[in-house]
């Protein structure tokens, strides 16, 4: 055994092993992921406006997507912020009962949104094979639908974990971060709605 010698140290043993909020590394990873996906949305939306400059009338050769489904789903998305926020509030307490409640609420909203999304897609009033306009509208909504489904599955998985004793420690932080991702889904939903339902009528 080597002789013990005195040397200067920085003792970090007193530091916590779980962190909530912005210091959490998974939070940062989630932010990067939102930057990546956000860029994809931005590029699709930019392409949408680029296509607008290529033709005379808009939307070309069809009527705009039926407004009502977008509006209803938009409202559902905005309301879903409530269970997401609640999940973030109760996660640090470690109260599994409340966490399950919040996640079930979030999952419920996601299910409703997915059903409404089905109606949205059926009422776009254009096929993706008809024109560049059709292709880009379907792509924007399609990309968002992918996020919606992925986030729903993730929420369900975390909900299942919440039924076990593994819902503790850094898993609690993951519950809170999941809500951040849900906010991203809501924001991109609103932006996409603006473009697909709004810009299509205004331009």
Partner 1 sequence: MAISEPIVIPQTGEQDRLSRTWAEPRGFWGWFTNVHHTAIGVRFMVTSFIFFLLGGVLAALMRLQLARPENNVLGPDAYNQIFTVHGSTMIFLFAVPMMFQGFGVYLVPLVCGTRNIAFPRLNAFSYYIYVVGGGLLWVGLFLKIGADAGWFAYVPLSGPQFTPGKRSDIWAQMITFTEVSALGVAVCIATTILRYRAPGMTLNRMPIILWEKLTIALMVIFAMPAVMVDSSMLLMDRTINTQFFNPSVGGDALLYQHLFWFFGHPEVYIIFLPGTAIISTLVPAFSRRHIFGYLAIVSAVVATGFLGFGVWVHHMFATGIPQISDSFFTAASLMIVVPTATQFYCWMATIWHGRLQLRLPMLWAFGFFFEFLIGGLSGVMLASVPVDWQVHDTFFIVAHFHYVLIGGALFPMFAGLYYWIPKITGRMMNDLLGKVHFWLFLIGFNMTFFTMHFLGLRGMPRRVYTYLPEMHWGTLNAIATAGVAFMTAAVIVFLVNFFQSRKTGELAGPNPWAAGTLEWGTSSPPPPYNFAEIPTVNGREAVWDAEPDQPVVVGVRDDVPEVLVTHSMDSEPQYREELPGHSIWPFLTAIAVSIAFIWSIFSPWGITYGAIPVVITLIGWLWPRGSSPTPRLAERPREATWSR
- Contact residues toward partner 1 (CB under 8 A) are 1-2, 7-19, 23, 25, 28-29, 32-33, 35-37, 39-40, 43-44, 47, 50-51, 54-55, 60, 94, 128-136, 138-139, 153-154, 157, 161, 166, 168-172
Closest CA to 143 of 198, 199, 83, 184: 184
* Shorter beta-carbon distance to partner 1: residue 18 or 82: 18
Give the chain's largest Cα–Cα span. 84
- What are the Cα distances from residue 108, in Å, to 5, 101, 115, 198? 60, 10, 11, 27
Q: Shortest Cβ distance from residue 11 to partner 1 (Å)?
A: 5
* Shorter beta-carbon distance to partner 1: residue 72 or 149: 149
Q: Shortest Cβ distance from residue 110 to partner 1 (Å)?
A: 15
* Shorter beta-carbon distance to partner 1: residue 53 or 97: 53
User: Helices 25-52 and 132-162 meet at what angle, rounded to 10?
Assistant: 160
DSSP string, 101-133: HHHHHHHHHHHHHHHHHHHHHHTSSS-TTT-HH
**Are the CB atoms for 189 and 74 separated by under 8 Å?**
yes
Q: Shortest Cβ distance from residue 49 to partner 1 (Å)?
A: 11
* Shorter beta-carbon distance to partner 1: residue 115 or 157: 157
Q: Shortest Cβ distance from residue 148 to partner 1 (Å)?
A: 13
């Amino acid at each position: 055994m080597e002789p013990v010698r005195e040397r200067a140290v920085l003792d970090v043993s007193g530091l916590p092993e779980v962190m909530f909020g912005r210091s959490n590394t998974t939070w940062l990873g989630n932010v990067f992921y939102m930057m990546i996906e956000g860029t994809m949305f931005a590029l699709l939306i930019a392409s949408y406006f680029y296509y607008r400059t290529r033709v005379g009338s808009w939307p070309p050769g069809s009527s705009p997507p039926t407004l009502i489904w977008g509006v209803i789903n938009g409202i559902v998305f905005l309301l879903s912020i409530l269970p997401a926020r609640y999940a973030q509030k109760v996660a640090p307490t470690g109260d599994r009962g409340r966490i399950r409640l919040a996640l079930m609420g979030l999952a419920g909203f996601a299910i409703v949104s997915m059903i409404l999304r089905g109606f949205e897609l059926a009422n776009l009033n254009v096929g993706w094979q008809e024109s560049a306009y059709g292709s880009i509208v379907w792509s924007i909504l399609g990309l968002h639908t992918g996020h919606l489904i992925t986030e729903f599955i993730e929420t369900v998985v975390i909900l299942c974990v919440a039924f076990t004793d593994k819902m503790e420690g850094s898993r609690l932080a993951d519950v809170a971060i999941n809500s951040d991702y849900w906010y991203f889904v809501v924001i991109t939903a609103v932006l996409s709605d603006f473009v697909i339902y709004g810009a299509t009528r205004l331009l």
